[in-house]
Chain A
């Protein structure tokens, strides 16, 4: 039975060998030689050290194109013209589905036609040497960002290829991303990824791991996001990960976002073992963007202002072209600069917000309820507890497409634009917390002269792209 226990070394070797034979480029992986490669890199490439020693929020965009030389050029542009402190390499969708054959075809077509036939960088197909060429060409730390439920080969190749940070986790890259991937199997696959990161860590190459905080990116109540971060953090720490960056996606209410980021950090430090260095990452708004670059810049600006007050260790920026999909490199760099401008203007101001402490108490009480429910469900084992709690709905994510989750929870904003829970399903939070959420939503319903209903949920999902925060009824409704 799956347990939250360290994978023994002989088992690690066995899985590692079977994973490496999945695809021809896997055979180029050699652990000792990979350690030497990491040791040969300059200090500015050391992801964990750069992030953990920063004295202001570091900025990182999203970016990935199929060809190696284009990816290098793109990252150099974002570094030089956008002022990105940390760089990404976003992986294409075929690789995320372990369809390396299709990724190979897309890559060949991209080479032939010069078109972006893949929506990211197929790192498995580029192989260890391709990854190293990228890492050597960029004088900043680079993270692998993806969305892969079974990322074992991707991790083995990119770690050997010199990447020192890896996004994702068994819950955050399963529940929001796929329908049929079994949660227990995904946890097992990520135990291997984390164990491999742990093996590098033991040898002095600290691989930074970053659970994906925004989850479904659609009005996720902070307590749910934070609970998932703590669980994935615990699972990773068991396998020897020592640098963990916990994530949270902007909901757009300043007080709630600041409170959530502070809770994320303090609960992370409390729940994760002392030997783990906990950092936090704030994702600028992940929901629908306004179809207008000027208004999109407003959304990005609010993200920057929030970061200046809450001071996460890292901010993942958005571009003003978010509405249209993949942005040009210029627009991507612009999103970085807009964010930097807001942070640098505001970070030395002493801004006090009313209500942050009260909101923190609410978030932390609900998060503790959820974690306790998971621990109880697994009889003290986090891996078992996570599976059982998602099955029963004790832990749940709004709009989760996965069959492993109930997906019964529905969020809605309250009269102040904070994300509350409208439908709890079987979510394991106390009656007292449910009552508070209900009262807040009642207050909104009263203001709007309508009953609480799914209609509010639907209106809230569209509100920011429509130019507002709260999905109030408009004339004619």
Chain B
């Protein structure tokens, strides 16, 4: 069975190009994609993950306020008792921070993987396949995670 992935841009951010491309790429790679679109709240991500029984939540942010927007996000996921992977990608800090530092900060917030804005969709898909133990050619024969 194909895995379901929730996709969206968090906060008041309206940058839609990245997730549009990612949506296409994930679909082409055989995932079921629920794209929440731009300006999505933490609650919308959590509710969608619960409703869709999702395997992963992919959060996008490009306007520099990701850290504020993601405060308390993983606590909400824990409260809802969800077992999902969480990735975040984009321009995650205002200004020219060192990305390793940014990555650490978002790892501490609870994200399983952190990507910069130069990441190709293929890289995120490869990571998803590794983390969900999906063989690229035979997605339907994959053992269920957890």
Q: Is A270 an interface residue (CB 8 A)?
A: no
Q: Is B110 an interface residue (CB 8 A)?
A: no
Tell whether, in the assembled complex, residue B37 and residue A403 are in contact, meaning their CB atoms are under 8 Å apart.
yes
Q: List 5 A-B contacts (CB under 8 A).
A: A178-B14, A179-B37, A399-B17, A410-B24, A461-B21
Tell whether, in the assembled complex, residue B14 and residue A179 are in contact, meaning their CB atoms are under 8 Å apart.
yes
Tell whether, in the assembled complex, residue B38 and residue A179 are in contact, meaning their CB atoms are under 8 Å apart.
yes
Q: Could you tell me the distance between the alpha carbons of A177 and B28 in the complex, rounded to whole angstroms?
A: 28
Contact (A407, B24) CB under 8 Å given A179-B37, A179-B38, A458-B121? no
- Of A180, A399, A453, which contacts B16 at CB under 8 A? A399
Tell whether, in the assembled complex, residue A180 and residue B17 are in contact, meaning their CB atoms are under 8 Å apart.
no
Chain B residues closer than 8 Å to A454, beta-carbon distance:
21, 24-25, 28
CB nearest neighbor in B for A403: B37
Q: Could you tell me the distance between the alpha carbons of A457 and B19 in the complex, rounded to whole angstroms?
A: 12
Contact (A401, B16) CB under 8 Å given A179-B38, A458-B121? yes
CB nearest neighbor in A for B23: A454
Q: Is A317 an interface residue (CB 8 A)?
A: no
Q: How far is the CB of B13 from chain A (nearest CB, A)?
A: 9
Chain A 448-459 interface mask (CB, 8 Å, partner B; 1/0): 000001110110
Q: Is A216 an interface residue (CB 8 A)?
A: yes
CB nearest neighbor in B for A177: B14
Q: Is A148 an interface residue (CB 8 A)?
A: no
From residue 215 to 250 of chain A, which have CB atoms closer than 8 A to chain B? Answer: 216, 218
Tell whether, in the assembled complex, residue A458 and residue B21 are in contact, meaning their CB atoms are under 8 Å apart.
yes
Contact (A453, B37) CB under 8 Å given A218-B17, A458-B121? no
Chain B residues closer than 8 Å to A410, beta-carbon distance:
20, 24
Q: Is B4 an interface residue (CB 8 A)?
A: no
Chain B residues closer than 8 Å to A458, beta-carbon distance:
21, 25, 120-121
- Of A400, A401, A457, which contacts B39 at CB under 8 A? A401
Top 8 A-B residue pairs of the complex, sorted by shortest distance between their CB atoms: A454-B24, A401-B38, A401-B16, A179-B39, A458-B21, A399-B17, A399-B16, A401-B14
Compute the total of residue contacts between A and B using a CB distance below 8 Å: 39
CB nearest neighbor in B for A180: B39
Q: How far is the CB of B15 from chain A (nearest CB, A)?
A: 8
Interface residue count for B (Cβ, 8 Å)? 13
A178-B14, A410-B20 given. 11 additional CB < 8 A pairs? A179-B39, A218-B17, A399-B16, A401-B14, A401-B37, A403-B37, A410-B24, A454-B24, A455-B25, A461-B17, A461-B21
Q: Could you tell me the distance between the alpha carbons of A458 and B25 in the complex, rounded to whole angstroms?
A: 10
Interface residues on A, range: 10 to 19
Q: Could you tell me the distance between the alpha carbons of A216 and B21 in the complex, rounded to whole angstroms?
A: 15
Q: Could you tell me the distance between the alpha carbons of A458 and B38 in the complex, rounded to whole angstroms?
A: 18
Q: How far is the CB of B49 from chain A (nearest CB, A)?
A: 19
Q: Could you tell me the distance between the alpha carbons of A401 and B40 in the complex, rounded to whole angstroms?
A: 11
Chain A 162-192 interface mask (CB, 8 Å, partner B; 1/0): 0000000000000001111000000000000
Main secondary structure of the interface of A (DSSP, over half): loop
Q: Could you tell me the distance between the alpha carbons of A454 and B37 in the complex, rounded to whole angstroms?
A: 18
Q: How far is the CB of B142 from chain A (nearest CB, A)?
A: 24
Chain A 82-94 interface mask (CB, 8 Å, partner B; 1/0): 0000000000000
From residue 44 to 90 of chain B, which have CB atoms closer than 8 A to chain A? Answer: none
Chain B 28-44 interface mask (CB, 8 Å, partner A; 1/0): 10000000011100000
Q: Could you tell me the distance between the alpha carbons of A399 and B17 in the complex, rounded to whole angstroms?
A: 6
Q: Could you tell me the distance between the alpha carbons of A401 and B13 in the complex, rounded to whole angstroms?
A: 10
Chain A residues closer than 8 Å to B14, beta-carbon distance:
177-179, 401
Tell whether, in the assembled complex, residue A453 and residue B28 are in contact, meaning their CB atoms are under 8 Å apart.
yes
Chain A residues closer than 8 Å to B28, beta-carbon distance:
453-454
Q: Could you tell me the distance between the alpha carbons of A180 and B121 in the complex, rounded to whole angstroms?
A: 27
CB nearest neighbor in A for B27: A454
Chain A 398-428 interface mask (CB, 8 Å, partner B; 1/0): 0111010001001000000000000000000
Q: Could you tell me the distance between the alpha carbons of A399 and B20 in the complex, rounded to whole angstroms?
A: 7
Chain B residues closer than 8 Å to A178, beta-carbon distance:
14, 39
Chain B residues closer than 8 Å to A461, beta-carbon distance:
17, 21
- Of A177, A180, A457, which contacts B24 at CB under 8 A? A457
Q: How far is the CB of B75 from chain A (nearest CB, A)?
A: 25
Tell whether, in the assembled complex, residue B17 and residue A407 are in contact, meaning their CB atoms are under 8 Å apart.
no
Chain A residues closer than 8 Å to B16, beta-carbon distance:
216, 399-401, 407
Chain B residues closer than 8 Å to A453, beta-carbon distance:
28
Chain B 100-142 interface mask (CB, 8 Å, partner A; 1/0): 0000000000000000000011000000000000000000000
**Interface-central residue, B20, B25, B28, B38, by most chain A CB under 10 Å:** B20
CB nearest neighbor in A for B12: A97
From residue 434 to 454 of chain A, which have CB atoms closer than 8 A to chain B? Answer: 453-454
Q: Could you tell me the distance between the alpha carbons of A179 and B41 in the complex, rounded to whole angstroms?
A: 12
Q: How far is the CB of B38 from chain A (nearest CB, A)?
A: 4
Tell whether, in the assembled complex, residue A457 and residue B21 are in contact, meaning their CB atoms are under 8 Å apart.
yes
Q: Could you tell me the distance between the alpha carbons of A46 and B21 in the complex, rounded to whole angstroms?
A: 44
Q: Could you tell me the distance between the alpha carbons of A180 and B14 in the complex, rounded to whole angstroms?
A: 11
Chain B residues closer than 8 Å to A179, beta-carbon distance:
14, 37-39
Chain A residues closer than 8 Å to B120, beta-carbon distance:
458
CB nearest neighbor in B for A147: B14
Q: How far is the CB of A463 from chain B (nearest CB, A)?
A: 13
CB nearest neighbor in A for B9: A401
Q: Could you tell me the distance between the alpha carbons of A453 and B28 in the complex, rounded to whole angstroms?
A: 9
Q: How far is the CB of A39 from chain B (nearest CB, A)?
A: 40
Chain A 236-272 interface mask (CB, 8 Å, partner B; 1/0): 0000000000000000000000000000000000000
**Interface-central residue, A177, A410, A458, by most chain B CB under 10 Å:** A458
Q: Could you tell me the distance between the alpha carbons of A213 and B121 in the complex, rounded to whole angstroms?
A: 30
CB nearest neighbor in B for A408: B20
Q: How far is the CB of A381 from chain B (nearest CB, A)?
A: 29
